[in-house]
Amino acid sequence: MPADIVLSTLNTRFGHCSFGLRYLRANLKHYRDRSQIREFTIGQRPIDIVEEILAENPRIVAFGVYIWNTAPITEIVFLLKKIRPEITVVLGGPEVSHETEHQPVCNAADFVVRGEGEVVFAWLCEQILSGNTPTQHIWEGGLPLLSELSLPYDEYTDTDIAQRTVYVEASRGCPFRCEFCLSSLDKSVRKFPIDNLLPALKRLLDRGLLQFKFVDRTFNLDIATSRSILEFFLSHQRPDLFVHFEMIPDRLPEELRDVISRFPKAALQFEIGIQTFDPDVSARISRRQKVDVAEDNLRFLNQHTGVHLHTDLIFGLPGQTVATIAQDFDRLRGLGPHEIQVGILKRLRGAPITRHDIDWGMVYSPVPPYEVLCTHDVDFPTMQHLKRFSQLWDRVGNSGYFAETLVWMFNGGSPFQRFSDFTHQVYRNHHRSHSVALTTLAEELFLFLTNDLVYPSKQIATILASDFLRTHQKSFPESVAAFLDTPYRTPRNQPAPTSRQDRHS
């Protein structure tokens, strides 16, 4: 059915869906039924996306612009304005909320809404559709009262609930000032009324949703609210229920520990941003963190709960050296998290990290995702190697496919140095660190552990086979299978675990 208002964006993959678009539609009030959400992925051709949008015959097209979709959305906006110049194009999202005037996509659009756009966007639509189109180009979204916003959860379709990641939130904002993050610009943390939120979550549960991803920057900031939400999920426990939270590393008092420990294994995932243990680097980027308390919390969660621990480090911060990066990685690995997400520093538009550019020689890519290219302490070839390290670690370390093999790789040595050497080997042999098949990675691990670390070939082949059987992988490298005492048996009627959490179990 044609729509006057098309709300659109490009997600990285089908399994993701836009939280922001659903907020916009839920708050359009009497214009909601004249709108449609049309989501695409960055793998689709811009010209095909334009064709699908124009098929709705819209009067207003709004795009959510993010670091990963800026380039294709720019092309789409240019095409739309070329083919149908009378269509009003509105942009919003973090990528256009800062340095707005200098972006070609912003100049091509009719309106740009900066910041939280639910209220301002609804007003703009009302003005445009009633024939009172404003002349002002850039609009500030401000900070809407969360108690007055319509919650977006009924905008999730049955397909979203069955097949995609569904996002929820209990609060907005962050009290910390970490300079690499746009949340450092927030002045306060605002909470959604818990009496409105919990019934909305219950409706999602009743519709069959089993995976909830909270996008709050600091879920455990307000302990009473955190506990209420955790107890809600504990009292509505379902088989395969999975809830993701982003947690402050050094804030886990006894009242939260108590309720967390009552969840079954892998029902909770905590994303815990350590970023760096280095006190000088932390102070330089205005990051406050009690490292000893954070370490104690990670040990507790690892040893006394069933929480799946996804931790974060950043490589390339001002003043970091390869030596301090190695220390951070080894220290975090020693605390036993299931995953260590190694991120390369990005210069997000508007983030105050740019104040260090001259003093610390920070050079960033001018194109998304704006990753750091080199610093005074880490030259360009080394930074490229660290990026390859990050890509391979995600595939080998975080994936859960090689959990037992990695124990042997790191036995008696620095995990960072061992995996760095492995990264060099893979790149030397394949000239890339991405799109390497699982069986090829197994072969490379076999070569590294038998040649560089001088383990017996039969022992390493047996360990790799154990990892493949544990994760029900059907294709085992023949070159490694030749060292097994018994033939590798392809798992029958056993589907491979579909999530990293399952593979780490």
> How many CB atoms are closer than 10 A to CB 193?
11
Q: Is 490's pLDDT higher than 80?
A: yes
- Give the full edge-to-edge strand order of the sheet including 35-41: 35-41, 5-11, 60-64, 88-92, 111-114, 138-140
Look at residue 38 and give its three-state secondary structure.
Answer: strand
Q: What fold characterizes domain 5-146?
A: Rossmann fold (3.40.50)
pTM score:
0.94
**Residue 47 binned pLDDT confidence (cut-offs 50, 70, 90):** very high
Q: Which residue has the tokens 């962050």?
A: 174
Rg of the chain taking only CA atoms, in angstroms: 24
Q: Which CATH class is domain 165-378?
A: alpha beta
Which residue ranges does the chain devote to CATH 3.80.30.20?
165-378
Which residue ranges does the chain devote to CATH 3.40.50.280?
5-146
**What is the per-residue pLDDT for 502?**
81
Reported as a single tens digit per residue, the pLDDT across 432-442 is: 999 999 999 99
**What is the per-residue pLDDT for 498?**
67
User: What's the whole-number average pLDDT of the chain?
Assistant: 96
Tell me, letter by letter, the H, E, C secondary structure of 75-137.
HHHHHHHHHCCCCEEEEECHHHCCCHHHCHHHHHCCEEEECCCHHHHHHHHHHHHCCCCCCCC
Residue 428, Ramachandran bin (φ over 0: left; ψ between -120 and 50: alpha; else beta)? alpha
CB 65 within 8 A of CB 93: yes
Range of lowest pLDDT (132-141, 200-209, 384-393, 467-476):
467-476
Reported as a single tens digit per residue, the pLDDT across 154-204 is: 999 999 999 999 999 999 999 999 999 998 888 789 999 999 999 999 999
**What is the per-residue pLDDT for 183?**
86
Structure tokens at 31: 């214009």
Q: 459-463: list long-range contacts, CB under 8 Å, 24+ apart.
A: 460/405, 460/408, 463/404, 463/405, 463/408
Contacts of 396 (CB under 8 A, 6+ apart): 402, 406, 419, 422, 441, 445
| CB-count exposure of residue 394 (10 Å: 0-12, 13-18, 19+) | middle
Contacts of 182 (CB under 8 A, 6+ apart): 94, 98, 348, 350, 351
**What is the per-residue pLDDT for 184?**
80
CB 462 within 8 A of CB 428: no
Q: Average pLDDT of 404-432? A: 97
**Residue 1 binned pLDDT confidence (cut-offs 50, 70, 90):** low
Contacts of 498 (CB under 8 A, 6+ apart): none
Q: Average pLDDT of 260-274? A: 97
| Strand partners of residue 168 | 214
In whole angstroms, give the CA distance from residue 117 to residue 138: 12
**What is the per-residue pLDDT for 2?**
77
Q: Average pLDDT of 235-240? A: 93
**What is the per-residue pLDDT for 296?**
98
In whole angstroms, give the CA distance from residue 161 to residue 204: 8
